[in-house]
């Protein structure tokens, strides 16, 4: 019987090689599916931790949120969204330095990111580092934003202006407010109202009033009130009364408008230089100013326990009181009616008394406040 000849060597090696390939393929397939399963498990755990963190942060438990976000990052350590949320949680938990570190790392990966710049500006502001806060606010203003860049940059500039005001940098705040106003489209009514409010906040009262007046036809309630506030702050009490009255007509429950309107009218009613007044009425107002100022200086001196009517005064109030006493003979309305120069002299004395007593006894109210405004703004009250 003839023996079977052995298989060629290459057939044996091919079989072994095929077997190895099959084993490798099975191993790769098993590894692939295991890796996928492990990845899905990691993602599931990360999402679960993220959801818990969001809930804790929303509930005000920032410390637990930080812990949960850190857990989420253990399962998904390269996820920038998770790192961003952790940075926000750290900031909410008062861990400012760590939050800054996270935002700086995020900014390194996305230079010019507007959101990261804005968050860093807020954090450095919290630390009291005004220089770095200003640097990152500017980065936010001119940075890249994903959604509605124009609105985001405007909001960043608005926040920067409020920061500057908190730092008593009014001049720079006014400059930023002017840039903000110049960048708003004429058809953007909400943007223009915001710009007007910022101008008002920074002390650009005349410009703010002009902006508000131009918008009265678009939003009479908001714009009339804004124009009234701006005119009042600028000491333009005729204009203030006009626009505040309009605001009250549109909103009779507006108590602020009613209060400011009443105060503006008190200045107008005390002003002897208002147009179309008779000489007798001008004289009456000056005589009343003389009386009100006299009562104020006496009351102020009494509160300071300061003696008056002495021969050798050494205090401004004492000197002014002596001057007031000498002027009594000139305060008769009949005499004042025919002498415009004398009226000016008495009003100047009343104004100086109100200014001096405001410094030594605090801000006045009522008729004294009206006289102080007349002394402070003069022709600015719009005769």
Q: Is residue 12 part of a domain?
A: no
Domain boundary among 100, 135, 168: 168
354 vs 255: CA distance, rounded Å? 27
Query: For residue 38, what pLDDT is reported?
Result: 41
Domain boundary among 111, 135, 168: 168
Domain boundary among 147, 168, 189: 168
For residue 370 the two structure tokens come to 């009206």
Q: Is residue 121 part of a domain?
A: yes
Tens digit of pLDDT for each residue in 2-42? Answer: 555 565 654 555 666 665 676 666 555 545 444 444 445 45
Q: Is residue 371 part of a domain?
A: yes
Q: In DSSP terms, which residues pair with 144 in a beta bridge?
A: 113
pLDDT: which is higher, 310 or 50: 310
Q: Is residue 265 part of a domain?
A: no
Query: For residue 37, what pLDDT is reported?
Result: 44
Q: Is 210 helix (H, G, I), strand (E, B) or coil?
A: helix
Instruction: Tell whether the model's pLDDT for residue 217 goes beyond 60.
Output: yes
Q: Is residue 227 part of a domain?
A: no
- For the ranges 16-30, 63-77, 88-102, which has the lowest average pLDDT? 16-30
Residue-averaged pLDDT of the chain: 87
Share of the chain above pLDDT 90, in %: 70
pTM over 0.85: no
Compute the chain's Rg from CA coordinates: 37
The DSSP 8-state label assigned to residue 332 in this structure reads -
Q: Is residue 201 part of a domain?
A: no
Structural domain of 300: 279-381
Note whether 289 and 270 are within 8 A (CB): yes
Q: Is residue 206 part of a domain?
A: no
Long-range contacts of 52-58 (CB under 8 A, 24+ apart): 53/85, 53/89, 54/85, 57/85, 57/88, 57/89, 57/92
- For the ranges 38-42, 222-226, 255-259, 360-364, which has the lowest average pLDDT? 38-42
Q: Is residue 239 part of a domain?
A: no
- Is the four-CA dihedral 29, 34, 35, 40 of positive or negative sign? positive
Total domains in the chain come to 2
CATH number at residue 103: 1.25.40.10
Count Cβ atoms below 10 Å from residue 355 Cβ, excluding itself.
16
- For the ranges 39-43, 202-206, 272-276, which has the lowest average pLDDT? 39-43
Alpha helices, H only, 111-148: 114-127, 130-141
Tens digit of pLDDT for each residue in 109-133? Answer: 999 999 999 999 999 999 999 999 9
Tens digit of pLDDT for each residue in 304-348? Answer: 999 998 888 888 999 999 999 999 999 999 999 999 999 999 999
Please report which confidence band the pLDDT of residue 287 belongs to, taking 50, 70 and 90 as the band edges. Answer: very high
Beta-carbon contacts of residue 162 (< 8 Å; ≥ 6 apart): 201
């Amino acid at each position: 019987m003839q023996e079977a000849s052995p298989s060629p060597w290459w057939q044996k090696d091919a079989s072994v090689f095929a077997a190895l390939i099959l084993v490798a393929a099975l191993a790769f397939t098993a590894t692939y599916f295991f890796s996928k399963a492990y990845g899905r498990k990691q993602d599931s755990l990360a999402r679960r931790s993220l959801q818990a963190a969001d809930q804790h942060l929303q509930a005000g438990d920032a410390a637990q949120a930080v812990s949960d976000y850190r857990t989420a990052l253990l399962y998904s350590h390269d996820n920038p969204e998770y790192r961003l949320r952790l940075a926000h949680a750290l900031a909410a938990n008062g861990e400012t330095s760590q939050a800054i570190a996270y935002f700086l790392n995020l900014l390194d990966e996305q230079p010019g990111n507007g959101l990261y710049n804005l968050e860093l500006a807020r954090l450095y502001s919290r630390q009291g580092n005004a220089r770095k806060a200003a640097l990152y606010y500017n980065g936010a203003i001119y940075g890249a934003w994903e959604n509605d860049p124009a609105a985001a940059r405007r909001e960043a500039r608005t926040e920067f202006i409020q920061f500057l005001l908190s730092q008593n940098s009014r001049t720079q705040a006014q400059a930023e407010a002017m840039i903000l106003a110049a960048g708003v489209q004429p058809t953007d009514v909400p943007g223009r109202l915001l710009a007007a409010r910022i101008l008002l906040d920074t002390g650009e009262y005349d410009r703010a009033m002009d902006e508000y007046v131009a918008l009265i036809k678009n939003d009479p309630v908001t714009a009339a009130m804004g124009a009234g506030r701006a005119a009042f702050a600028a000491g333009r009490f005729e204009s203030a009364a006009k626009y505040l009255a309009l605001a009250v007509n549109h909103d009779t429950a507006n108590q602020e408008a009613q209060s400011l309107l009443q105060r503006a009218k008190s200045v107008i009613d005390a002003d002897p230089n208002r147009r179309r007044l008779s000489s007798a009425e001008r004289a009456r107002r000056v005589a009343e100013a003389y009386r009100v100022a006299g009562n104020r200086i006496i009351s102020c001196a009494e509160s300071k326990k300061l003696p008056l009517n002495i021969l050798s005064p050494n205090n401004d109030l004492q000197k002014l009181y002596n001057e007031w006493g000498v002027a009594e003979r000139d305060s008769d309305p009949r005499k004042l009616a025919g002498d415009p120069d004398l009226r000016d002299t008495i009003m100047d004395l009343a104004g100086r008394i109100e200014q001096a007593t405001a410094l030594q006894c605090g801000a006045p109210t009522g008729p004294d406040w009206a006289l102080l405004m007349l002394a402070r703004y003069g022709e600015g009250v719009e005769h």
